[in-house]
Amino acid sequence: MAAAGLPVGKAGSSKARLSVGDVVFRAATTAAAGLVLGLIILIVWQLIAGSVPVLEKEGGSFFMSPIWDVTKGQYGALAFVWGTFASSIIALIVGGTIGVAISAYLVELAPKFLLKPISLLVDLLAAIPSIIYGLWGIFVLIPWLRGSLFPEMTALFGWTGLFGSPGTPMPGTGLFTAGLVLAIMIIPTVAAVTREVLLVVPKPMRDGALALGANRTEVLKGVQIPYASSGILGALLLGLGRALGETMAVAMVIGNSAQIHLDLFRPAASLASNIANEFGEAGPMQRSALIGLGLMLFLVTLVLNVIARLLVHRVQARSGLR
């Protein structure tokens, strides 16, 4: 007998070939998925192995000591932890607020002729290399903060800048400057995820509020943002993770001084910037200490990203999209 116009032997052979193809495809996709997990395990293993020498030498003081003195062989990460989190929190407050506001505007309030141009410009911010942000910080942001970018306006309004005269040591570099640069860099991340969670708010909820007489702004404040609040928090955490791990732009504007102080306008250093500045010329123990900083940074960003994804997934699950 023939099956679909083919002899039984040929039909069976075609089915066999398809089965082999399915098996090969499944194996390839499974291997690709497993590769990600394997890479993460390998990275963690290498970071832990590289950190062992400094952890055996310094013990708990590696995490708690603010002293980083290569000449004396003393390695403490606390100053870099402070610089990383302080600059990132500044970025989160400024950039996170702007990112959420942009998303709310695009989802509900923006006219159609502005929707695509603004979305394109926000996405374009994510495509700019970090070193470009660093150069912008050096040549535009720092002079503006010092009051020397627009000397005519400075003379007219008496603006002397936040950092005093141009002759001060390391003028303009510090936590605040790094935080502002990072704020611009995290806007695309926060805006994209916030827009995603706002768009999954059930349409009947929005339409019901409009039917009761609410305007678009009231719907946004009273329905969409409260419903997507956990997802928005996830977007902010993703932006925070992006800020924590940024290297080159921060290294160019933060001042790279291993100090702990509450003055946001003084030079500081972050985990990533210190690794970038010192790794190339580091000796064995210093290199182990830098790998230890990398391990701390990796674990913190990993935890933040997992929590953020869970929060975003929660909103999507409530909307029936997961």
> What digits encode the pLDDT tens for the residues 250-268?
999 998 888 888 888 888 9
Tokens describing residue 197: 């969670």
Please, are residues 260 and 77 in contact by the beta-carbon 8 Å criterion?
Answer: no
User: Mean pLDDT, the chain, as a whole number?
Assistant: 83
* Per-residue pLDDT at 19 exceeds 90: no
Band (161; pLDDT cuts 50, 70, 90): low
Percent over 90 (pLDDT), the chain? 35
Q: What is the mean pLDDT of residues 110-129?
A: 88
Same domain, 34 and 87: no
Band (2; pLDDT cuts 50, 70, 90): very low
What type of residue sits at position 231?
G
**Prediction pTM value:** 0.83
Dump pLDDT digits (tens) for 31-73: 999 999 999 899 999 999 999 999 998 888 889 888 898 888 8
Same domain, 288 and 226: yes
Res 223: pLDDT: 86
Same domain, 190 and 308: yes
Q: In the listed set 26, 52, 78, which residue is the last one of a domain according to the structure?
A: 52
Q: How far apart are CA 299 and CA 294, in angstroms?
A: 9
Q: In the listed set 15, 35, 52, which residue is the last one of a domain according to the structure?
A: 52
Band (163; pLDDT cuts 50, 70, 90): low
User: Which residue has better confidence, 186 or 173?
Assistant: 186
Indicate the number of domains in the chain.
2
Tokens describing residue 218: 């009231």
Same domain, 34 and 64: no
Q: What is the mean pLDDT of residues 270-292?
A: 90
Burial label for 53, CB within 10 Å (0-12, 13-18, 19+), is middle
Looking up tokens 């503006």 gives 144
